[in-house]
Amino acid sequence: MSYPKIERKALAVPSSRLSRLSKLGGLASSIAGNVAAEAARQLARGQRPRLDELLLTPANAQKMADKLARMRGAAMKVGQLISMDAGDMLPPELAQILASLRADAHHMPMLQLRRVLSEAWGADWQRRFQKFEIRPIAAASIGQVHRAHTIDGRLVAIKVQYPGVRRSIDSDVDNVAALLRMAGLVPKGIDIAPMLAEAKRQLHEEADYEREGRCLSRFGALLADRPEFLVPELHTDLTTPNVLAMSYLEGEAVDSLETASQAERDRVMTLLIGLLFRELFEFKLMQTDPNFANYRYAPSTQQVILLDFGATRAFPDHFADLYRDLLRAGLAGDGDGVRAVAHRIGFMAPDMPAALERSMLDMLEMSLQPLRHNAPFDFGASDLAMRIRDTGMAMAEDRDHFRIPPMDTLFMQRKFGGIYMLATKLRARVNLRALIEPHL
């Protein structure tokens, strides 16, 4: 497994609930201090300060990003989700600061790492390896990855979970949600309780490395007939709830293909979009994390490497059937059918105002356009993503009627959005109609 170079420094992970709560409390106090100081300055100039403008400043966003990056765990993960899910609805400078959370995290100091590995494998764990690289090759919100050679000659990637992550998930999510409410990032009147409950559930699953190992093996089996994809092999003898061991696969960042030929960019995105449709309609199992870092590319074999299956989500049969019905109606130009299925999926609520419903149907219509033509859709030349985003932002301004969609829909749409962003970044041309028709 190949990863980008670590840039952040080693910082111990605060592992007790009290220490993590105190850090978030300190962040809230710091933001409150910034707000009070700026309000005083504006009042002195004869201006009437607005609370939302005082809270949503680059200085406060930078403080939040820095603190969450130092904490790691669920606190940092929630910040990452905000930057991906709400990024288009934030001022550009704030979105850019929070997006820094999607880069490499700080990693554990050597002594803390050794303690974690001793708890997982025993005090003599080093006897298992010819070589274990202490400096990680990647560090993220929940764990960091090391390269190692086992005593029997295997080249492996070892993902080590930060201490205290699992037991701090619930309190981290609650505390960060309270902080976001204070910062004005959560619209008043919006019930985010289902989203918070789902965030906790998913994070508990992501923190169970034995579960991720099973998902890894499952995807390896599902794609055994597709040599274009490469999935790491699980090493069960080294895997525990806090340590995941898998084969190390050499590759490059998938977005490095920006400089590749048009044909190669088209081929890779055709593979990934085709896989997305298989996950939804055939596997009923989807890796829902849209982070580009979950895809690598091996130039020597032209294979796409799939990584990180912690966010794998199983969908019920009826969920795929609903999307199949939506696509059938959309491709047939059946507006009434699209509207009916959109209500069943949860895109629209029964009490949604007519104007807001019309906007939602317009957005669905835009998203269906690339599927209607049996020809390559040029992601790089289209402004469709911007038009869909602008419509979504306009809808979000109606906070009195804004509703969070069902969780299965939300996570599936996030994955679709991430793949669309990657296709746009690579300026790929893909015949979407040819990929979707076999599933309808």
d(CA 215, CA 286): 10
172 shares a domain with 268: no
380: containing domain: 253-440
pLDDT value at 53 more than 50: no
Q: Residue 307 and residue 275: Cα distance in Å, rounded?
A: 14
* pLDDT on residue 58: 58
Domain-embedded: residue 161: no
**101 secondary structure, DSSP code:** G
Determine the 3-state secondary structure of 234 from DSSP. strand
The pLDDT tens digits for 21-52 are 444 445 444 554 454 444 445 445 555 434 44
Is residue 220, in this structure, part of any structural domain at all? no
Spatial contact of 102 and 65, defined as CB atoms under 8 Å apart: no
174 and 276 part of one domain: no
pLDDT score, position 227: 95
SS3 of 186, please? Answer: coil
Q: pLDDT band at residue 260, thresholds of 50, 70 and 90?
A: very high
**Residue carrying structure tokens 């790492």:** 113
Q: Which of 186, 215, 239 is the last residue of a domain?
A: 186
**Most confidently predicted of 139-143, 279-283, 382-386, 391-395:** 279-283
Q: Point out the residues that are catalytic.
A: 289
Distance CA 235, CA 152 (A): 12
| Boundary-marking domain end, from 157, 186, 215 | 186
Q: Does a structural domain hold residue 213? A: no
Q: Binning pLDDT at 50, 70 and 90, where does residue 321 land? A: very high
| Same structural domain, 301 and 431 | yes
**Has residue 302 got a pLDDT over 80?**
yes
Q: What is the pLDDT of residue 438?
A: 93
Q: Which helix H or strand E contains 132, and what residues bound it?
A: strand 129-132
Residue 311: per-residue pLDDT? 87
Q: Is residue 120 part of a domain?
A: no
Q: What is the DSSP letter of 88?
A: G
What are the tokens at 403?
Answer: 């509703």
pLDDT for 163: 85
Residues 300 and 398 in one domain: yes
Same domain for 176 and 288, yes or no, is: no
Looking at residue 215, what is its pLDDT?
Answer: 96
The answer on 177 and 305 residing in a single domain is no
Residues 174 and 322 in one domain: no
Q: Are residues 271 and 176 in the same domain?
A: no
d(CA 12, CA 183): 27
> From CA 343, how far away is CA 331, in angstroms rounded?
18
pLDDT attached to residue 192: 67
Q: Are 208 and 201 in contact (CB under 8 A)?
A: no
Contact 256, 297 (CB under 8 A): yes
pTM: 0.77
* Distance between CA atoms of residues 390 and 384, nearest Å: 10
CB 386 within 8 A of CB 338: no
Whether residues 176 and 305 share a domain: the answer is no
Which one is predicted more confidently, 101 or 178? 178
Statement to judge: residues 50 and 181 lie in one domain: yes
- C-alpha of 289 from chain center: 4
Is residue 337 within 8 A of residue 329, CB to CB? The reply is yes
Give the highest mean pLDDT range of 134-138, 224-228, 289-293, 340-344.
224-228
Number of neighbours of residue 291 by Cβ within 10 angstroms: 14
| Shared-domain flag, residues 178 and 260 | no
Could you give the CA distance from residue 125 to residue 114 in angstroms, rounded to a whole number?
9
Going by pLDDT thresholds of 50, 70 and 90, the confidence category of residue 352 is: confident
Assess if residue 8 is contained within a domain: no
Q: Residues 261-288: what's their mean pLDDT?
A: 95
Residue position matching structure tokens 């619930």: 170
- CB atoms closer than 10 angstroms to residue 269: 24
Domain check: are 410 and 269 in the same one?
A: yes
**Residue 90 covered by a domain:** yes
Asked whether residue 235 is domain-assigned, the answer is no
Is residue 283 situated within a structural domain? yes
Among 104, 121, 133, 129, smallest CA distance to 10 is for 104
Q: According to the model, what pLDDT value does residue 93 have?
A: 47
Q: Which residues sit opposite 286 in a β-bridge?
A: 313
Number of folded domains in the chain?
A: 2
